[in-house]
Structure 1
Amino acid sequence: MDGPGHTRVMQITPVDPADDRTAGDILALINTVLAVDAPENRRPVERSFRAELRQERPGMEVAYFAADDGGAFAGYLGIALLVGDNPHLAMAELMVHPDHRRRGIGTALLDHFAAYASERGRTDLVAGTLTTWGDGPRRPDTGANFLERNGFALALVNVHRRSRTDALDAETERRLWDQAVAAAADYEVRTWTGPAPDDLIESYCRLDAMTRTEVPSGDIQMEPERVDVERARAKEARYAAIHQVPVRAAAVHRATGEVAAYTDIHAYTDPEAVHAAQGITIVDPDHRGHRLGMLLKLANLRQLREHFPRVAEVWTENADVNDHMVAINDLLGYEAVDALSIYQRKLQA
């Protein structure tokens, strides 16, 4: 009861993310939650965020739901199902407005997620929540406690880190570069922005398909993604549609012409966006031990400065057990902020 004679009614309904008002409601909710729970974290870039909600995702089915609490947009649920591989997985993003918490809205959204996934044959539910990491800013423990109360178990911890693009002094950057170049004499560095060069795309696809199994995924079972040229080009078209520019560097093995490693950073076309997001960095297991990760990250940092001088900081996310990549990021000046703790719940098949 909200007051004498007034009953609060909460409803969960599917929403159309292409609707401008709905997109604005979701964006406002996310910004409010971040302002309360994680004020140090980056905010969504509005133009890209709105476009991303509208765009289809290659290899993925996405659905959105809103919780209406007495006429207020009180909660948001986004569900993603992988298509063509990993038919057991269902992933969710769930948020409740701070003014509407402790009213059962989160539980109702989580139940809706479970029912939606189960009806579509999914058995593994995955959802994340922000948590404190080390000596970083304090994060509420309510999200983790909520998931655990509802049968979820911690499966993976990804640590959020950020670095200024000028974090390295010139001497340190030059030393790291020279060391990496010396160790990678058998490789050529190729850099580009936007779509991958035609002569590298097939080799790039081969490596891209490894990311789900080579990058630590904790207790979450992941099958390789089926990536061919058509899928890769569809991903690139999506980035353009959501006003992001992939900034990429690859190490090409001189003897075979194969892409042995690559890294990417996602910059925004919005002139007001002063941050960028580090994407995947992967080295083919057969080509490790040549400092390719460090070499490519430095090459890409230089390229980012050249093409996007307004970008002041880069955010990245690494599994807490990914010691090698964390060590590289530490040398590059990244500092931990908080963590995205990813929880998993198994449903009966």
Structure 2
Amino acid sequence: MIDPAWPFFEQRHRDLARDLQGWCDDHLDDVHADDVDAACRALVHNLGEAGLLDLCVGTPDSPPDVRSLAIARATLARASGLADFAFAMQGLGSGAISLFGDEEQRADWLPGVAAGSAIAAFALTEPDTGSDAANIACRAVRDGEEWIVDGEKTYISNGTIADVITLFARTGTAEDGARGLSAFILPATAHGLTVAERIEVIAPHPLARLRLDGVRLPASALIGGEGDGFRIAMQTLNLFRVTVGAAALGFARRALDEALSFSTVRKLGEATLADHPVTQERLAEMATAIDASALLIARAAWQQDNGIADNRRAAAMAKLHATEEAQRVIDMAVQLHGGLGVTRGAKVEELYREIRALRIYEGASEVQRMVIARDLIREAHR
């Protein structure tokens, strides 16, 4: 787990880790939700009431502190995957407004995001466009003092419950590629915006496919300048990429906790499962993978907070290693639990479903490997 006593962190991070752990102990006793939408709304409200969502918002001159976000996500994920999701989406969904919004846009939306009264979403992915974001087809056309938007977005987290959506649409031609994209603030009440499909995934979250049919937005909805959308999307994703690794770290740490707890009481002949050399080997592997991920996350978050000019490689390494190793750690925990590990309701079974998506969203593992390799090659040619 991330240790705030490490030199990457300051006293404020140590205080946050202590206070947040106490809040989790009091408020997140294995959250299970029959109604995922209602549970997410309640979690956002409670996180806002506790002042924790203040960590998610910032300004162009003072962006969110990545080390604080990483500590928060690791701690929340260890307690509840849904709580981590609710927290993270408030940051990602409003990140473009924090980093690139004007004073009026920030004043209109960020207080509600921080208070938990406005739920945020980030709409980039489309049915035919995932990692190749430069090729999105959703189109916004200027009509006097308005923009008319048509298209679809899919796998939109908080899509069924959002109040405000950061929307990326094409304002240039297809030939313009990434330079033809722009970012907009889309209120969920906008006429012509509908939830076309609720998407059910293995770890239940409020995901949706959204349809935009002649949605009219005022000129003031544009974030930054026309054509800035791709840069805004990539910088927003980069701000939060390390924290995806932190969430994976929280899941992995909980898996180790569960494996230790189970193996020390599970009888195996005259001894316990934990007395068996094979089990001890697995526990050692799990702990080592977790600490390696934590150090990569701490380094990348520290670099980002301290303005290291190009930390893409460190962020990609942190996200890649933490998510891939968390999948492996959780799989080992499931294996140690035997049949119980794949039984609905067991914590390790829940973790097994929760971790899988983290290797895909906000830059799939394959993309992170490309980022790392290309950076290494560029460095070698200097």
Per the TM superposition, whether the score is higher than 0.5 is: no
State the TM-score, normalizing by the size of structure 2.
0.26
Structure with bigger RCO (C-alpha 8 Å, 6+ apart): 1
Q: Could you state the TM-score of these two structures normalised by the residue count of structure 1?
A: 0.28
Higher helix share: 2
Larger strand percent: 1
